[in-house]
Structure 1
Amino acid sequence: MTVEIGKVVSPFKATATHGEFDLTAHKGKVVVIYFYPKDNTPGCTTEGENFRDLHDQFSKAGAVVVGVSRDSLKSHQNFKAKMAFPFELISDPDEALCLLFDVMKMKNMYGKQVRGVERSTFVINRKGVLVQEWRGVKVPGHAQAVLDFVTTIQD
Protein backbone atom coordinates (compact mmCIF):
# COMPACT_ATOMS: atom_id res chain seq x y z
CA MET A 1 0.00 0.00 0.00
CA THR A 2 1.46 3.34 -1.02
CA VAL A 3 0.47 6.88 -0.11
CA GLU A 4 -2.10 8.79 -2.15
CA ILE A 5 -2.97 12.48 -2.39
CA GLY A 6 -6.09 13.19 -0.35
CA LYS A 7 -5.66 10.12 1.90
CA VAL A 8 -4.39 9.85 5.47
CA VAL A 9 -0.77 8.65 5.57
CA SER A 10 -0.41 5.46 7.61
CA PRO A 11 1.35 6.19 10.89
CA PHE A 12 4.98 5.12 10.89
CA LYS A 13 8.02 5.14 13.12
CA ALA A 14 11.55 5.22 11.77
CA THR A 15 15.12 5.51 13.03
CA ALA A 16 16.34 9.10 12.81
CA THR A 17 19.40 11.12 13.78
CA HIS A 18 18.03 11.96 17.23
CA GLY A 19 16.19 8.77 18.07
CA GLU A 20 12.87 7.66 16.63
CA PHE A 21 10.77 9.74 14.24
CA ASP A 22 7.09 9.01 14.92
CA LEU A 23 4.66 10.56 12.44
CA THR A 24 1.80 10.55 14.98
CA ALA A 25 3.89 12.73 17.33
CA HIS A 26 3.67 15.49 14.70
CA LYS A 27 -0.12 15.53 14.32
CA GLY A 28 -1.23 19.17 14.32
CA LYS A 29 1.86 20.20 12.34
CA VAL A 30 2.54 20.15 8.63
CA VAL A 31 5.16 17.49 7.86
CA VAL A 32 7.50 17.88 4.88
CA ILE A 33 9.28 14.64 4.00
CA TYR A 34 11.94 14.82 1.34
CA PHE A 35 13.58 11.71 -0.10
CA TYR A 36 17.05 11.96 -1.57
CA PRO A 37 19.47 9.41 -3.05
CA LYS A 38 22.67 9.69 -0.98
CA ASP A 39 24.42 11.63 1.79
CA ASN A 40 27.38 13.84 0.83
CA THR A 41 26.66 13.91 -2.90
CA PRO A 42 26.46 17.28 -4.70
CA GLY A 43 22.72 17.42 -5.46
CA CYS A 44 21.69 15.96 -2.12
CA THR A 45 23.97 18.31 -0.21
CA THR A 46 22.57 21.34 -2.07
CA GLU A 47 18.99 20.20 -1.48
CA GLY A 48 19.65 19.76 2.24
CA GLU A 49 21.34 23.18 2.41
CA ASN A 50 18.30 24.77 0.75
CA PHE A 51 15.92 23.20 3.28
CA ARG A 52 18.34 24.21 6.07
CA ASP A 53 18.50 27.82 4.90
CA LEU A 54 14.68 28.06 4.85
CA HIS A 55 14.19 26.08 8.08
CA ASP A 56 13.18 29.08 10.21
CA GLN A 57 10.48 29.97 7.68
CA PHE A 58 9.20 26.38 7.62
CA SER A 59 9.05 26.45 11.44
CA LYS A 60 7.15 29.77 11.42
CA ALA A 61 4.65 28.15 9.02
CA GLY A 62 4.13 25.32 11.54
CA ALA A 63 6.00 22.75 9.46
CA VAL A 64 8.44 20.01 10.41
CA VAL A 65 11.02 19.06 7.76
CA VAL A 66 12.63 15.63 7.65
CA GLY A 67 14.97 14.08 5.08
CA VAL A 68 15.02 10.37 4.17
CA SER A 69 17.55 8.18 2.38
CA ARG A 70 18.78 4.60 2.55
CA ASP A 71 22.08 5.67 4.15
CA SER A 72 23.06 4.33 7.57
CA LEU A 73 22.28 6.20 10.77
CA LYS A 74 26.01 6.89 11.27
CA SER A 75 26.28 8.36 7.76
CA HIS A 76 23.23 10.55 8.50
CA GLN A 77 24.63 11.72 11.83
CA ASN A 78 27.91 12.73 10.17
CA PHE A 79 26.14 14.42 7.23
CA LYS A 80 23.77 16.32 9.54
CA ALA A 81 26.62 17.53 11.76
CA LYS A 82 28.86 18.50 8.82
CA MET A 83 26.09 20.48 7.10
CA ALA A 84 24.51 21.86 10.32
CA PHE A 85 21.06 20.62 9.35
CA PRO A 86 18.50 21.71 11.99
CA PHE A 87 16.13 18.88 11.00
CA GLU A 88 16.17 15.12 11.38
CA LEU A 89 17.39 12.64 8.79
CA ILE A 90 15.67 9.25 8.71
CA SER A 91 17.73 6.16 7.92
CA ASP A 92 15.71 3.79 5.73
CA PRO A 93 18.12 0.94 4.81
CA ASP A 94 15.29 -1.61 4.49
CA GLU A 95 13.40 0.80 2.18
CA ALA A 96 10.17 0.61 4.24
CA LEU A 97 9.45 4.34 3.84
CA CYS A 98 10.82 4.40 0.30
CA LEU A 99 8.28 1.71 -0.61
CA LEU A 100 5.42 3.37 1.32
CA PHE A 101 6.03 6.57 -0.66
CA ASP A 102 6.86 4.68 -3.88
CA VAL A 103 10.17 6.46 -4.53
CA MET A 104 12.29 3.47 -5.62
CA LYS A 105 12.89 3.67 -9.38
CA MET A 106 15.20 2.26 -12.03
CA LYS A 107 17.70 4.93 -13.07
CA ASN A 108 20.57 5.16 -15.53
CA MET A 109 23.94 5.64 -13.89
CA TYR A 110 27.01 5.65 -16.10
CA GLY A 111 25.13 3.66 -18.74
CA LYS A 112 23.87 1.00 -16.33
CA GLN A 113 20.39 0.47 -14.92
CA VAL A 114 20.44 0.81 -11.13
CA ARG A 115 17.63 0.84 -8.61
CA GLY A 116 17.65 3.99 -6.53
CA VAL A 117 15.69 6.69 -4.75
CA GLU A 118 13.88 9.15 -7.00
CA ARG A 119 14.30 12.61 -5.47
CA SER A 120 10.80 13.36 -4.17
CA THR A 121 9.05 15.54 -1.58
CA PHE A 122 5.73 15.03 0.19
CA VAL A 123 3.62 17.37 2.33
CA ILE A 124 1.28 15.96 4.99
CA ASN A 125 -1.21 18.41 6.49
CA ARG A 126 -2.05 18.90 10.16
CA LYS A 127 -4.70 16.17 9.98
CA GLY A 128 -2.24 13.59 8.60
CA VAL A 129 -3.49 13.77 5.00
CA LEU A 130 -1.07 13.78 2.06
CA VAL A 131 -1.83 17.06 0.28
CA GLN A 132 1.06 17.48 -2.17
CA GLU A 133 3.87 15.55 -3.79
CA TRP A 134 6.74 16.37 -6.08
CA ARG A 135 8.47 13.51 -7.90
CA GLY A 136 11.59 13.58 -10.06
CA VAL A 137 12.60 16.80 -8.29
CA LYS A 138 15.19 19.17 -9.71
CA VAL A 139 17.01 20.82 -6.79
CA PRO A 140 17.23 24.51 -7.85
CA GLY A 141 14.28 26.41 -6.38
CA HIS A 142 12.61 23.27 -5.01
CA ALA A 143 12.82 24.00 -1.26
CA GLN A 144 11.38 27.48 -1.88
CA ALA A 145 8.51 25.98 -3.93
CA VAL A 146 7.75 23.60 -1.04
CA LEU A 147 7.81 26.49 1.44
CA ASP A 148 5.52 28.53 -0.81
CA PHE A 149 3.06 25.62 -0.86
CA VAL A 150 3.28 25.02 2.90
CA THR A 151 2.38 28.65 3.63
CA THR A 152 -0.92 28.19 1.73
CA ILE A 153 -2.14 25.24 3.83
CA GLN A 154 -5.19 26.27 5.85
CA ASP A 155 -6.09 23.15 7.84
Structure 2
Amino acid sequence: MSVSLGQPVPDFTATATGDTTLTLSELRGQQVVIYFYPKASTPGCTTEGGDFRDRKAAFDAANTVIVGVSRDGIRAQENFKAKQDFNFPLLSDKDEAVCKLFDVIKLKKLYGKEHLGIERSTFLIDADGKLAREWRGVKVKGHADEVLEAAQALHAGQ
Protein backbone atom coordinates (compact mmCIF):
# COMPACT_ATOMS: atom_id res chain seq x y z
CA MET A 1 0.00 0.00 0.00
CA SER A 2 1.42 3.38 -0.92
CA VAL A 3 0.23 6.94 -0.79
CA SER A 4 -1.89 8.58 -3.46
CA LEU A 5 -2.94 12.16 -4.10
CA GLY A 6 -6.07 13.35 -2.32
CA GLN A 7 -6.09 10.33 -0.01
CA PRO A 8 -5.22 10.17 3.71
CA VAL A 9 -1.59 9.23 4.29
CA PRO A 10 -1.42 6.09 6.45
CA ASP A 11 -0.04 6.76 9.91
CA PHE A 12 3.54 5.78 10.71
CA THR A 13 6.02 6.17 13.53
CA ALA A 14 9.77 6.41 12.94
CA THR A 15 12.94 7.07 14.91
CA ALA A 16 13.83 10.76 14.77
CA THR A 17 16.79 12.90 15.73
CA GLY A 18 16.88 14.32 19.24
CA ASP A 19 16.30 10.86 20.78
CA THR A 20 12.61 10.98 19.82
CA THR A 21 10.10 9.25 17.59
CA LEU A 22 7.83 11.00 15.14
CA THR A 23 4.27 9.82 14.55
CA LEU A 24 2.55 11.38 11.55
CA SER A 25 -0.92 11.55 13.17
CA GLU A 26 0.51 13.70 15.99
CA LEU A 27 1.13 16.44 13.40
CA ARG A 28 -2.55 16.75 12.38
CA GLY A 29 -3.71 20.34 12.19
CA GLN A 30 -0.44 21.31 10.54
CA GLN A 31 0.74 20.77 6.99
CA VAL A 32 3.71 18.44 6.67
CA VAL A 33 6.52 18.40 4.12
CA ILE A 34 8.27 15.04 4.07
CA TYR A 35 11.32 14.98 1.86
CA PHE A 36 13.31 11.84 1.11
CA TYR A 37 17.01 12.09 0.32
CA PRO A 38 19.46 9.35 -0.70
CA LYS A 39 22.26 9.76 1.88
CA ALA A 40 23.16 12.02 4.79
CA SER A 41 26.20 14.28 4.43
CA THR A 42 26.45 14.01 0.63
CA PRO A 43 26.61 17.18 -1.49
CA GLY A 44 23.10 17.18 -3.00
CA CYS A 45 21.45 16.15 0.24
CA THR A 46 23.37 18.80 2.18
CA THR A 47 22.29 21.50 -0.29
CA GLU A 48 18.65 20.34 -0.24
CA GLY A 49 18.51 20.22 3.56
CA GLY A 50 20.13 23.65 3.76
CA ASP A 51 17.53 25.07 1.37
CA PHE A 52 14.71 23.77 3.61
CA ARG A 53 16.56 24.98 6.74
CA ASP A 54 16.94 28.49 5.33
CA ARG A 55 13.20 28.69 4.56
CA LYS A 56 11.93 27.22 7.83
CA ALA A 57 10.50 30.53 9.12
CA ALA A 58 8.44 30.87 5.94
CA PHE A 59 7.25 27.25 6.25
CA ASP A 60 6.36 27.91 9.91
CA ALA A 61 4.33 30.95 8.82
CA ALA A 62 2.40 28.65 6.45
CA ASN A 63 1.69 26.23 9.36
CA THR A 64 3.98 23.64 7.75
CA VAL A 65 6.35 21.20 9.48
CA ILE A 66 9.46 19.95 7.62
CA VAL A 67 10.71 16.37 8.04
CA GLY A 68 13.69 14.80 6.24
CA VAL A 69 13.96 11.02 5.73
CA SER A 70 16.71 8.67 4.57
CA ARG A 71 17.83 5.10 5.22
CA ASP A 72 20.82 6.29 7.26
CA GLY A 73 21.13 5.15 10.87
CA ILE A 74 20.17 7.54 13.63
CA ARG A 75 23.79 8.38 14.50
CA ALA A 76 24.47 9.47 10.89
CA GLN A 77 21.25 11.53 10.97
CA GLU A 78 22.21 13.18 14.29
CA ASN A 79 25.66 14.07 12.92
CA PHE A 80 24.20 15.41 9.67
CA LYS A 81 21.63 17.53 11.52
CA ALA A 82 24.21 18.93 13.97
CA LYS A 83 26.85 19.64 11.34
CA GLN A 84 24.37 21.42 9.01
CA ASP A 85 22.43 23.10 11.81
CA PHE A 86 19.14 21.72 10.50
CA ASN A 87 16.17 23.13 12.42
CA PHE A 88 13.79 20.23 11.74
CA PRO A 89 13.79 16.50 12.53
CA LEU A 90 15.46 13.85 10.39
CA LEU A 91 14.06 10.33 10.41
CA SER A 92 16.10 7.14 10.28
CA ASP A 93 14.26 4.65 8.07
CA LYS A 94 16.72 1.74 8.09
CA ASP A 95 13.93 -0.82 7.61
CA GLU A 96 12.55 1.26 4.69
CA ALA A 97 8.98 1.17 6.09
CA VAL A 98 8.40 4.89 5.44
CA CYS A 99 10.26 4.74 2.11
CA LYS A 100 8.04 1.88 0.98
CA LEU A 101 4.88 3.66 2.13
CA PHE A 102 5.79 6.58 -0.16
CA ASP A 103 7.22 4.27 -2.88
CA VAL A 104 10.57 6.06 -3.14
CA ILE A 105 12.90 3.02 -3.34
CA LYS A 106 13.90 2.76 -7.00
CA LEU A 107 16.48 0.95 -9.09
CA LYS A 108 19.31 3.43 -9.66
CA LYS A 109 22.56 3.34 -11.58
CA LEU A 110 25.85 4.55 -10.13
CA TYR A 111 29.09 4.12 -12.08
CA GLY A 112 27.38 1.55 -14.28
CA LYS A 113 26.19 -0.57 -11.37
CA GLU A 114 22.52 -0.95 -10.50
CA HIS A 115 21.34 -0.73 -6.90
CA LEU A 116 18.18 0.05 -5.00
CA GLY A 117 18.17 3.49 -3.44
CA ILE A 118 15.99 6.43 -2.52
CA GLU A 119 14.72 8.52 -5.40
CA ARG A 120 14.86 12.12 -4.18
CA SER A 121 11.18 12.90 -3.57
CA THR A 122 9.03 15.32 -1.57
CA PHE A 123 5.45 15.09 -0.34
CA LEU A 124 3.13 17.80 0.99
CA ILE A 125 0.43 16.58 3.36
CA ASP A 126 -2.46 18.89 4.23
CA ALA A 127 -3.59 19.70 7.77
CA ASP A 128 -6.21 16.92 7.58
CA GLY A 129 -3.56 14.30 6.78
CA LYS A 130 -4.29 13.96 3.06
CA LEU A 131 -1.59 13.95 0.39
CA ALA A 132 -1.87 17.31 -1.40
CA ARG A 133 1.22 17.32 -3.67
CA GLU A 134 4.11 15.09 -4.62
CA TRP A 135 7.39 15.68 -6.38
CA ARG A 136 9.38 12.68 -7.61
CA GLY A 137 12.81 12.55 -9.22
CA VAL A 138 13.57 15.93 -7.66
CA LYS A 139 16.38 18.20 -8.82
CA VAL A 140 17.71 20.13 -5.81
CA LYS A 141 18.10 23.58 -7.36
CA GLY A 142 15.00 25.68 -6.69
CA HIS A 143 13.08 22.73 -5.21
CA ALA A 144 12.61 24.09 -1.66
CA ASP A 145 11.18 27.32 -3.12
CA GLU A 146 8.68 25.35 -5.21
CA VAL A 147 7.60 23.31 -2.17
CA LEU A 148 7.30 26.47 -0.07
CA GLU A 149 5.07 28.12 -2.68
CA ALA A 150 2.83 25.03 -2.73
CA ALA A 151 2.66 24.98 1.09
CA GLN A 152 1.81 28.69 1.20
CA ALA A 153 -0.89 28.30 -1.46
CA LEU A 154 -2.41 25.30 0.33
CA HIS A 155 -2.36 27.15 3.66
CA ALA A 156 -3.94 30.27 2.12
CA GLY A 157 -6.71 28.16 0.59
CA GLN A 158 -7.81 26.75 3.96
Report the TM-score when normalising by structure 2: 0.97
Q: What residue identity is the alignment partner of 1:53? A: D
RMSD: 0.5
Distance in 1 between the 2:23 and 2:108 partners? 30
Aligned equivalents of 2:4, 2:129: Cα separation in 1: 12
The Cα shift of 1:88 comes to 0.2
Amino acid corresponding to residue 139 of structure 2 in structure 1:
K
Once the two structures are superposed, the pairs formed by residues 38-57 of structure 1 within 5 Å of their partners are 38-57=39-58
Determine the structure 1 residue equivalent to 2:31.
30
The equivalent of 2:12 in structure 1 is 12
CA distance in 1, matches of 2:97, 2:22: 14
What are the ranges of 5 or more consecutive residues in structure 1 without an aligned counterpart? none
**Does residue 114 in structure 1 map to residue 115 in structure 2?**
yes
- How many residues end up aligned between the 2 structures? 155
Q: How far apart are residue 10 of structure 1 and its match? A: 0.7
Per the TM alignment, residue 128 of structure 1 is displaced from its structure 2 partner at its CA by: 0.3
How far the C-alpha of 1:86 sits from its partner, in A, is: 0.3
DSSP 3-state at the match of 1:122 = strand
Taking every aligned residue pair, what percent have the same amino acid on both sides? 54
**Match for 1:27: what amino acid?**
R
Secondary structure of residue in 2 paired with 1:152: helix
Output the CA distance in 2 between the equivalents of 1:93 and 1:69. 8
Deviations 1:54-93 (A, max 9, x none): 0110011100000000000000001000000000000000
Say whether residues 1:2 and 2:2 are aligned partners: yes
CA distance in structure 1 between the partners assigned to 2:25 and 2:129 by the alignment:
8
1:1-30 deviations in whole A, cap 9, x for unaligned?
A: 000001000111110002010111110000
Structure 2 partner of 1:80: 81
- In the TM superposition, structure 1's runs of 4+ consecutive aligned residues that sit over 3 Å from their partners are none
